[in-house]
Structure 1
Amino acid sequence: MTRIITALDDISDGYDTLFVDLWGCVHDGVRALPDAVAALRAYRARGGAVVLVTNSPRARRGIEKQLAEFGVPGDAWDSIATSGDSARAAMFRGAVGTRVWFMGQSFDHRFFEPLEVIEDPVEIACVPLDEAEGIACVGPFDPMADPETLRPQLLHAKQKGLKLLCANPDIVVDRGDVREWCAGAVARLYTEMGGTSLYFGKPHPPIYDLARRRLTALGRDADTFRTLAIGDGAQTDIAGAMGEDIDSLFISGGLAADETKTTQQPDADALRAYLEREGVAPTYSIGHLR
């Protein structure tokens, strides 16, 4: 049974480390959420470690810059693990070949910047679909357009037997009050069509391995520290935590605010019904991180 709490302080003494989702928990895609920032600062002041674990396709340094722009201070977190870095590592190891068809917006081409931690990386060339050995999907070309508009290209890719590397398993994200499609929606469609999609963010194991390595780099033993995962995605943050056998705190006022009837706190009956439909069982829930 999921326990509804009123503040992170209610439970934080039982955990040494937090794996915290960003979008919908710490910021809304436009600006920092002050109560969440205050809660993380207070947790770190008591000696806890905060690893931001995000399905963003960006590199860690790109997230650091974005956080500063949104007003999230550096003393609210210790390290960052991104789906983008996990996916880039796989790409530079040749997971989808060397000739890659790129899906994303123009500014997403930073995904192909060298990754220094990979020994002997393969050389990646961006090519048209007809010449490709695989697909690197950072997101749809137009995040406002229904992913179904990509069906013709995806059908061609499936017929060629191409694997799709998904740099962000999220289906949608809310940028302020605007909902956008993410790479996960494209990968889901491709899989439903019979194609092969490779995932590296939540809820899949590679990003948790990266998060633990980030924790180890801080001088903390990831195998013995008690960890709490925090996020607003039932099928990403919570399902991922369950798969990793770690406790979780579901932020109901993010993606599921309407379904859980969340203003300050979720409606208990609506929350229960939502979690049952999603097939997940977070340890705790709260309306917003505070």
Structure 2
Amino acid sequence: MAERIRSFAEIAGRYDVVLCDVWGVLHNGVEAFAAASEALAAARAAGLTVVLITNSPRPYPGVKVQIRGLGVPDEAYDRIVTSGDVTRALIAEGPRKIRFIGADRDYPLLDGLDVTPVDMEAAEAVVCAGLRDDEAETAEDYRTELAALAARGLPFVCANPDLVVERGHRLIPCAGAIAALYEELGGRTAIAGKPHRPIYEKSIAEAREVRGDFDLARVIAVGDGMPTDVRGAEALGLDVLYISGGIHAREYVEAGRTDEARLDAFLSREGAHPKWWMPRLQ
């Protein structure tokens, strides 16, 4: 059973490195959670190394600009590793002519790569960074397009494995939902972001560049996403601090209060074993 903590400072002395999720922990897509940034800044001041690990399809410079604009200070972290960073290698290994699925803001994922976005008929692979209009669409809106692509056996690279994220107080679909539908239609996908190993290996490598070697037993992962943050970290054998007020809060929060019995039942159903939990990082 996960143990409830009131402050990250209660457990910070057990660890050397924090791998912290971004969307849902540090901000909700509209505004930053100031207490979360303060907690990470305090951890760094106490000697911990903080690597932000996010399923954003943007390479890390774009995420740095984005979160700074939302109110996350640079002092809250040492490095950023994104799903976009590790996905670029998958794109580079594939065919040159791609069907790109995503919004205009997602095109920096392709910067400097020898690939060309083309129409469906000419495509030799699919690269998905997100929905073209995530405010109005769902994955189902792509069923016909995906069925045609899957029928041709085109490989599908997913740059953001998240199914949904919070934007303000709403849940917004992500590229992971489109990838799941592509698999349902018989297509094959390639994913490097959470919960898959490449993004964790990159994050650990970045932390070692900052502080030198360390034991993985002294690494804690912080996140709110069960299929991504929690499963990915646990697969690597890392301790997990589960942020319960994120995308799964509807499972066990009522009238602003966490029903701990329902939370425990939820974690049990998910086969998850976080060491600690708290509603929001602070």
TM-score bucket of the superposed structures, by smaller chain:
over 0.9
Aligned counterpart for 2:184 among listed residues 178, 192, 195: 192
- What amino acid sits opposite 1:34 in the alignment? A
Contact 2:60 2:80 in 1 (8 A): yes
How big is the shift at 1:80? 0.5
Moved more, 219-228 or 63-72: 219-228
Where in structure 1 are there 5+ consecutive unaligned residues?
A: 115-120
Q: Which residue of 2 aligns with 1:137?
A: 128
Report the count of equivalent residues: 281
Percentage of identical aligned residues: 39
Moved more, 36-45 or 220-229: 220-229
Contact 1:212 1:222 in 2 (8 A): no
Contact 1:263 1:287 in 2 (8 A): no
Runs of 4+ in structure 1 over 4 Å off: 222-225, 262-265
Q: Which residue of 2 aligns with 1:97?
A: 95
Once the two structures are superposed, what CA deviation does each residue of 1:114-159 show, in whole Å capped at 9, x if it has no partner?
2xxxxxx6x2111111111100000122213121111111111111
Call closer, same or farther: CA 1:222–1:151 in 2, change over 3 Å.
farther
- What amino acid sits opposite 1:71 in the alignment? G
Aligned counterpart for 2:267 among listed residues 256, 265, 275: 275
C-alpha distance in 2 between matches for 1:111 and 1:271: 37
C-alpha distance in 2 between matches for 1:210 and 1:288: 26
Call closer, same or farther: CA 1:74–1:265 in 2, change over 3 Å.
farther
How big is the shift at 1:225? 6.6
1:163 matches 2:161: no
Q: Which residue of 2 aligns with 1:112?
A: 110
1:70 matches 2:70: yes
How big is the shift at 1:219? 3.7
Contact 1:251 1:285 in 2 (8 A): yes
C-alpha distance in 2 between matches for 1:288 and 1:227: 19
Q: Which residue of 2 aligns with 1:213?
A: 205
Aligned counterpart for 2:228 among listed residues 236, 239, 246: 236
How big is the shift at 1:224? 5.4
Q: Which residue of 1 aligns with 2:42?
A: 42
How big is the shift at 1:109? 1.2
1:288 matches 2:280: yes
Secondary structure of the equivalent of 2:250?
coil
Q: TM-score, normalised by structure 2?
A: 0.96
Contact 1:17 1:225 in 2 (8 A): no
- What amino acid sits opposite 2:66 in the alignment? Q
Moved more, 263-272 or 40-49: 263-272
Q: Which residue of 2 aligns with 1:117?
A: none
Call closer, same or farther: CA 1:17–1:163 in 2, change over 3 Å.
same
Once the two structures are superposed, what CA deviation does each residue of 1:61-106 show, in whole Å capped at 9, x if it has no partner?
00110111011111110000100111012212x2x31111000012
Call closer, same or farther: CA 1:264–1:229 in 2, change over 3 Å.
farther
Contact 1:140 1:183 in 2 (8 A): yes
Where in structure 2 are there 5+ consecutive unaligned residues?
A: none
Contact 1:215 1:222 in 2 (8 A): no
- What amino acid sits opposite 2:241 in the alignment? L
Contact 1:31 1:71 in 2 (8 A): yes
Q: Which residue of 2 aligns with 1:266?
A: 258
Call closer, same or farther: CA 1:204–1:83 in 2, change over 3 Å.
same
- What amino acid sits opposite 2:99 in the alignment? W
Q: Which residue of 1 aligns with 2:164?
A: 172
C-alpha distance in 1 between matches for 2:257 and 2:214: 32
Contact 2:241 2:275 in 1 (8 A): yes
